Amino acid sequence: MFNPNKALLHKIHEVGGFVNAHAHFDRAYTVTEENMEKVVNYHLFDKWKFVDNFKKNADHTIYTNNIMTAVDEQIKQGVVGAMTFVDVDSVCGFKALEAAQEVKKKAAEKGFTLKLCSQALKGVLRPAEDVLLREALQLGYLDAIGGLPRADKDYEQAHLDQILFLGREYGKRVHVHVDQLNNDLEKETELLARRTVYWGMEGRVTAVHGISIAAHNKDYRKEVYKMSRDAGLSFITCPTAWIDSRRSEWLTPTHNAITPVEEMLEHDLVVAIGSDNIQDVYKPFSDGNMHTEVKFLLESLHLYDIEALVKIATKNGRLVIGMEDEAHGDIKVQSRRSGLL
């Protein structure tokens, strides 16, 4: 008897195992009874501020235990590699990043590839944040540079210009949180595509989430896909991370609160998958299980193409986090339109 679930898992195992392309291991397992009662219902932007309390008080041992525990659990769940964003800012300094460096070496001994990307909750434009990010790059602590345009509110383009410039200067991939609020006011993916071409970073930039793309009309979505293809943008969907998007009276095209992956595949875009947060104030019940993420993806989008799902869960993840050989790992760009500049 044919069992689609078994067939999917078997093929994922055959090609090397799951890759978790986006996570936050340094803050994993930090939800408590106290913050479960209130903080988990805060708005996203308020949670960004709340986690400062943890970051101030966490020491090297706490960070190391969180990240190592997350890696061990991922290994048990059949994951062979992951990229974790790690807080690097004026609140926690290099505490989390130095712990992540230690775990990265231990993970490699277990056959697990751990890639590190800077998290930018405090933005990248303020002098203190700029100095820390540049120092982390100079010290060789980072595999990729992370972006969060909303963290530099009203200066989103400058934020992108800064990280794309640094990505070019240091030869690093750039992963950017974009279009997370599930409404048609957000057009961050479009801006990211345009600035990627401007800085000559085609094939080296990945957009994380992209939920709000689905809130736009079809013509705009198609234009974004074309821009993204020309810019060599790849995408990471984190299905359970935004499935809890709140009901509202905002009128948009009918859609699920998830990256419109099925449309992206039709436009030949590279899409990988990640878990995002694990048992913290953002996602208190998440265990980081990549099989769960794939199940949410396929059911919410009616995406039943097993070969496509295997590629999303494995090869594409290796590609966007840099597990593939650098000579072959860049996303191929079909064309470059001067109109994107």
Confidence of residue 314 (pLDDT cuts 50, 70, 90): very high
CA 238 to chain centre: 7
Confidence of residue 47 (pLDDT cuts 50, 70, 90): low
pLDDT the model gives residue 332: 64
The answer on pLDDT for 160 being more than 90 is: yes
Q: Find the farthest-apart pair of alpha carbons in the chain and give their distance in angstroms, rounded.
A: 62
**CB proximity list for 84: less than 8 A, separation 6 or greater:** 23, 24, 25, 26, 67, 70, 100, 114, 115, 116, 117
CA 311 to chain centre: 17
Mean of pLDDT over the chain: 91
The answer on pLDDT for 251 being more than 90 is: no
Higher pLDDT, 326 or 253: 253
The answer on pLDDT for 329 being more than 60 is: no
Residue entry with tokens 């926690």: 92
The answer on pLDDT for 177 being more than 70 is: yes
The answer on pLDDT for 33 being more than 80 is: no
The answer on pLDDT for 337 being more than 50 is: no
The answer on pLDDT for 282 being more than 90 is: no
Give the model confidence (pLDDT) of 63-80 as tens digits: 999 999 999 999 999 999
Alpha-carbon gap, residue 85 to 97, rounded angstroms: 9
The answer on pLDDT for 258 being more than 70 is: yes
- Please give the average per-residue pLDDT across 152-180, as a whole number: 97
Higher pLDDT, 284 or 174: 174
- Please give the average per-residue pLDDT across 76-92, as a whole number: 97
Beta sheet of 234-237, edge-to-edge order: 18-23, 79-87, 113-119, 144-147, 173-178, 205-209, 234-237, 271-273
Share of the chain above pLDDT 70, in %: 90
pLDDT the model gives residue 265: 98
Confidence of residue 52 (pLDDT cuts 50, 70, 90): confident
Residue entry with tokens 């436009």: 267
- Please give the average per-residue pLDDT across 268-288, as a whole number: 93
The answer on pLDDT for 193 being more than 60 is: yes
The answer on pLDDT for 14 being more than 60 is: yes
- Please give the average per-residue pLDDT across 148-158, as a whole number: 97
- Give the Cβ contact number of residue 275 at 10 Å: 31
In the structure encoding, which two tokens stand for residue 62, read together?
């706490």
- Please give the average per-residue pLDDT across 128-133, as a whole number: 98
| CB under 8 A, 24+ apart: contacts of 169-173 | 170/137, 170/145, 172/137, 172/142, 172/143, 172/144, 172/145, 172/204, 173/143, 173/144, 173/145, 173/204, 173/205, 173/206, 173/320, 173/321, 173/322
Confidence of residue 339 (pLDDT cuts 50, 70, 90): very low
The answer on pLDDT for 276 being more than 80 is: yes
Alpha-carbon gap, residue 257 to 245, rounded angstroms: 6
Sign of CA dihedral 302, 304, 305, 310: positive
Alpha-carbon gap, residue 125 to 162, rounded angstroms: 7
| CB under 8 A, 24+ apart: contacts of 39-46 | 39/281, 40/281, 40/282, 40/284, 42/281, 44/180, 44/181, 44/282, 45/150
Residue 25 vs residues 20, 146, 247, 299, 321: alpha-carbon distances, Å = 11, 15, 29, 26, 15
Query: Could you tell me where the beta strands, DSSP code E, fall in the chain?
Result: 18-23, 79-87, 113-119, 144-147, 173-178, 205-209, 234-237, 271-273
Beta bridge partners of 113: 81
Length of the chain: 341
Rg (CA), the chain: 19
pLDDT the model gives residue 42: 66
CB 164 within 8 Å of CB 195 = yes
Alpha-carbon gap, residue 142 to 118, rounded angstroms: 7
Taking the model in full, what pTM does it have?
0.92
Confidence of residue 327 (pLDDT cuts 50, 70, 90): very low
Higher pLDDT, 62 or 328: 62
Alpha-carbon gap, residue 14 to 80, rounded angstroms: 12
The answer on pLDDT for 41 being more than 90 is: no
**What residue type is assigned to position 145 of the chain?**
I
Residue 41 vs residues 44, 49, 99, 244, 245: alpha-carbon distances, Å = 9, 14, 29, 11, 12
The answer on pLDDT for 59 being more than 60 is: yes
State whether residue 117 is helix, strand or coil.
strand
Measured torsion, CA atoms of residues 282, 287, 288, 294, in degrees rounded to the nearest 10: -110
